[in-house]
Amino acid sequence: MAIHPIEYRYGHPDMKDIWSEETRLRKILSVEAALAKAEVYAGYIPGGVDDKIAQGVKNVKLDRVKEIEDEIHHDVMAVVHALSEQCGDAGKWVHFGATSNDMLDTATALQVKDAISVFRKETLKLLTALTDAAESHKNTVCAGRTHGQIGVPTTYGLRFAIWASETERHLVRLDQLTPRATAGKMSGAVGTQAAFGKKGIEIQERTMELLGIEAADVSNQIIQRDRHAEFVMWMANIATTLDKICIEIRTLARSEIAEVEESFGKKQVGSSTMPHKRNPIKSEQVCGLARIVRAMVEPALRNNTLWDERDLTNSSCERVVFPEACVLADHLIRLTTNIIHNLRIYPGNIRKNLELLDGLNMGEAIMMELSKKGVGRQEAHEIVRQCAMNARESRIHMREALLANETVSEYMTETEIESMMNPDNYIGTAVEQVESIVAKLRMRG
């Protein structure tokens, strides 16, 4: 019986598989096999034992591991016993010198490595979608808004470019944290490697080399959780970017703004009682689930504050944090990519909103032009402010208020005022900025 929505509603099979019970077992077994091979290489256990253990790994079944765990109530020893059963005389060398967390933490590193690979691939797809949108709409002039109020013009291309640039920084961060978050270890019960004797460092390095991950420089019984917290915070960080993007989409999709809209299927239902509704449910889902991913940061940080050489408070917590955060964060990236790919943009409504204030939002352009012509900046600001207040109160176009002002008429002709009131003429370097960042991001792709 499915209980958690991840089981039946959210998440992609690729990420779910990484955190499945079966995959977890296979990762632990791969660490056991690598350890045996490293120990043979170091001359710590007899030659040929590693081959028998590697063969035994192939025959271990999850059901048998669970059966043993039900008897002995220890998850790692259940794996050790199940593997030993498959290795004949070599079974006595399974897990030799290791402690449980040598297996568990190193297996986690392998799972995190696989998760990061999926994140990198899917984030690149999101980056491509945003970059394409930025390029397509670099000349789509729209109303900029600050404090929820219409300001000077901007472009949709610049909006998408800003989101694309932020997404690219997440990829940079992911590359930077990867070696830290994917380190494994063979350090024994308290970190001294005493059970491995003087071969400890060599065995650890060789084991991690075989597994294709970094070895921790130093650790106690566990890998220190600042590494994992950084990874969880990365997920929270990118989830917050997606939250921001989708909040903007939801805002711009409001009925009274209606500049954008999520795709809506021919048979899709928006409301059980209001047949006309076309709700931004995908964006709302992103915003809602981003809260869950962000909520994982606190437990991830607290998992680093353990007693002495370790306690067990992190273990149960991480069984929830790692799979849930990874599955949901991956789901949000894929969902946002889909939203951007299929986003509908309505130029007519964009233009209507751009001209909604009858030119009031072009006041800065007039102020700057007056300043360039010799009127002091502060004086020009006050002149334009008064004209704006007059236009608002008299319900006339800003152009008329400006033409009625003696100082403005002294310095600017009607043709100049008309030109400066055109939003298309006041987007600065928006197009050039978009073209520059698009070129940079295309190189990454």
Q: Same domain for 184 and 286?
A: yes
Instruction: Identify the residue whose tokens are 């809260």.
Output: 291
Q: Same domain for 296 and 369?
A: no
Q: Is 271 inside any structural domain?
A: no
Q: Same domain for 327 and 416?
A: no
Q: Is 57 inside any structural domain?
A: no
Q: Same domain for 396 and 281?
A: no
Active-site hit among 271, 394, 409, 436: 271
Reported as half-sphere exposure (CB side, CA atoms, 13 A), residue 440 has a value of: 15
- Domain count along the chain: 2
Q: Same domain for 20 and 169?
A: yes
- Give the pLDDT confidence score for residue 272 in this predicted structure: 66
For the domain that residue 107 is a member of, what is the CATH number? Answer: 1.20.200.10
Q: Same domain for 222 and 324?
A: yes
- Residue 73 annotated in active site: no
Q: Is 52 inside any structural domain?
A: no
- At 192, give phi and psi (nearest 5°): -85, -10
Q: Same domain for 378 and 408?
A: yes
Pick out the chain residues at pLDDT < 50: none
Q: Is 286 inside any structural domain?
A: yes
∠ CA 99-104-106, nearest 5°, is 100
d(CA 391, CA 398): 5
Q: Is 368 inside any structural domain?
A: yes
Q: Is 61 inside any structural domain?
A: no
Q: Same domain for 203 and 100?
A: yes
Q: Same domain for 225 and 178?
A: yes
Which of 350, 381, 411 represents a domain boundary (last residue)? 350
- Give the pLDDT confidence score for residue 83 in this predicted structure: 98
Q: Is 230 inside any structural domain?
A: yes
pTM greater than the 0.75 cutoff: yes
- Give the pLDDT confidence score for residue 1 in this predicted structure: 86
- Residue 136 annotated in active site: no
Which of 289, 320, 350 represents a domain boundary (last residue)? 350
Q: Same domain for 315 and 415?
A: no
SS3 content of the chain, % helix, strand, coil (to 5): 70, 5, 25
Question: CA–CA distance from 406 to each of 364, 384, 422 (Å)?
Answer: 18, 12, 21
- Give the pLDDT confidence score for residue 271 in this predicted structure: 63
Residue 415 structural domain: 358-439
Q: How is 103-159 classified by DSSP, letter by letter?
A: HHHHHHHHHHHHHHHHHHHHHHHHHHHHHHHHHHTTT-EEEEEETTEEEEEEEHHHH
Q: Same domain for 219 and 298?
A: yes
For the domain that residue 404 is a member of, what is the CATH number? Answer: 1.10.40.30
d(CA 304, CA 88): 39
Q: At what angle do helices 226-252 and 156-181 cross, to 10 degrees?
A: 170
Q: How many CB atoms lie within 10 A of CB 149?
A: 10
- Give the pLDDT confidence score for residue 445 in this predicted structure: 62
∠ CA 298-309-306, nearest 5°, is 20
Q: Same domain for 232 and 166?
A: yes
Which of 317, 350, 383 represents a domain boundary (last residue)? 350
Q: Is 338 inside any structural domain?
A: yes
